[in-house]
Amino acid sequence: MELPIYLIGYMGAGKTTVGRLLAEKLGWAFVDLDDAFAEINGITVEDFIRRYGVEAFRRREKDCVEKLSELPIQRVIYATGGGYPCWEDNMECLKELGTSIYLRWNSRHLAHRIELSGTEHRPILRNRHGQELLEFVEWQMSGREEFYKQADIIIDAPLGELAEDNDEQIAQHLYQLIKNNR
């Protein structure tokens, strides 16, 4: 399995943290696509969405993933933006470009993890908190899940109580899975 790996899932799923940890374990490169977007476009995702809206962002985001996929980079893990797989044919594109892995959490855990990391830098969530945040996550997940579920691999996050080392556990689990499939 030397094709690029695309980590997908909702905001707060740990795509960036797990991606970094996994890349370290495998000795692969890691690219956060929100950061790559900012570098390529000279504006952060947050500012771009605030200024031009989500629709314009999705177009640019799509171009950005396509551009990067044309570079001759081997052994790379990408953390995609949470909404990327749910737009147009993006999920199909990801599946053609590499191995997609869905980090699946239930909405309650996602909302909790988002609260911990803060919503102020997440324009889509517009500073929602508590019950309002949970209901919004549930609503978005009900539309997004059908796309996420098409991933080549689905990793279920721990179902028990949340712990600080959840992301490390997930990265370790993925590492073993990838190692055993080589």
| CA 152 remoteness from chain centre | 14
CB 180 within 8 A of CB 30: no
| CA 148 remoteness from chain centre | 10
Residue number, 27 or 143, with CB nearest to ligand S3P: 143
The least CB distance from residue 31 to ligand S3P, in Å, is 12
Residue number, 124 or 154, with CB nearest to ligand S3P: 124
The least CB distance from residue 45 to ligand S3P, in Å, is 5
Residue number, 162 or 176, with CB nearest to ligand S3P: 162
Residue number, 60 or 95, with CB nearest to ligand S3P: 60
The least CB distance from residue 155 to ligand S3P, in Å, is 16
Instruction: Look up residue 150 and give its two tokens.
Output: 């098409």
Helix (H, G, I), strand (E, B) or coil at 98: coil
**Rounded distance between C-alpha atoms, residue 13 and residue 19, angstroms:** 11
Instruction: Look up residue 6 and give its two tokens.
Output: 């695309």
Instruction: Look up residue 130 and give its two tokens.
Output: 């508590």
**Using CB under 6 A as the criterion, which residues of the chain lie in contact with ligand S3P when the complex forms?**
11, 15, 34, 45, 81-83, 122-124
CB 83 within 8 A of CB 144: yes
The least CB distance from residue 51 to ligand S3P, in Å, is 13
